[in-house]
Amino acid sequence: MRMALIQQHATRDKEDNITRGIKALEEAASRGAQLVAYGELAFDFFLPQHPASSESLRSAEPIPGPTTELFSEKAKELGVVIVLNLFERAGERTYDTSPVIDADGKIAGKTRMIHIIEAPCFHEQGYYSPGDLGAGVFDTAAGRIGVAICYDRHFPEYMRALALKGAELVVVPQAGAVGEWAPGIFEAELQVAAFQNGYFTALVNRVGKEDCVTFAGQSFVTDPEGRIIAQAPEGEDYILYADIDFGLLKKCFARRYFLLDRRPDIYEAL
């Protein structure tokens, strides 16, 4: 299965952001991508770099809604699975949400970010209610896809839950900044998660300088043995392609040993 990760910058012109995202989608599909994924809030100037206000919260949209309808049409037209990340409004609440659109244009499901951080330039607790849909894993034409939105990937319990639900590939829409972490640690984190849980991972990051944060890019893909098999450059818009073989899953250590030898009865007693 060929996937494409769309690493792109965002401006305050949402229409332009979406237009560029669609152009990249069409290019990826023309090069054989069966799954296309975008970074966290890919079509918005990164809202949480400033504290929430009534004006900024008005930019949230329903799912299904205008953006998912547009991408659903493109998914059906191009025959690709699409993983988005949007600022969702549901009633009085707002969420950081990734809808997964199947190749027939139907929404296979959505994941809402569960763990919400509050930090300089990441004032997310004013924007997002904690997710209430659990660890999302969805059957699609491109495989059984799990989603871990940005901060959720730091929680081993969540990453293990995706494995127990049968994820073959975990997509991680991220907003990761230059200098936010020790060099190599985010890669190592997902390499270990892939190795311990027996799935591929695909982290797709934002890129570009905004008001108080510069997003790094460096999107990457790991295999279920924990190897990085593709990585995008730092600091530039880029379409990262990776060809993955789900046949490797049944041979990996996690599926041959680790998941079979778990002792949840003991863990709960500790």
Quote the pLDDT of residue 268: 81
Quote the pLDDT of residue 76: 98
Quote the pLDDT of residue 270: 61
Which CATH number fits the domain that encloses residue 212? 3.60.110.10
Quote the pLDDT of residue 2: 98
What confidence tens digit (pLDDT) does each residue in 212-253 have?
999 999 999 999 999 999 999 999 999 999 999 999 999 999
Quote the pLDDT of residue 207: 98
Domain range for 240: 2-269
Total count of domains within the chain: 1
Extract the residue ranges of the chain whose pLDDT is less than 50. Answer: none
Please state the three-class secondary structure of the chain as a single string.
CEEEEEECCCCCCHHHHHHHHHHHHHHHHHCCCCEEEECCCCCCCCHHHCCCCHHHHCCCECCCCHHHHHHHHHHHHHCCEEECCEEEEECCEEEEEEEEECCCCCEEEEEECCCCCEECCEEHHHCCCCCCCCCCEEEECCEEEEECCHHHHHCHHHHHHHHHCCCCEEEEEECCECCCCCCCHHHHHHHHHHHHHCCEEEEEECEEECCCCEEEECCEEECCCCCEEEECCECCCEEEEEECCHHHHHHCHHHHHHCCCCCHHHHHHC
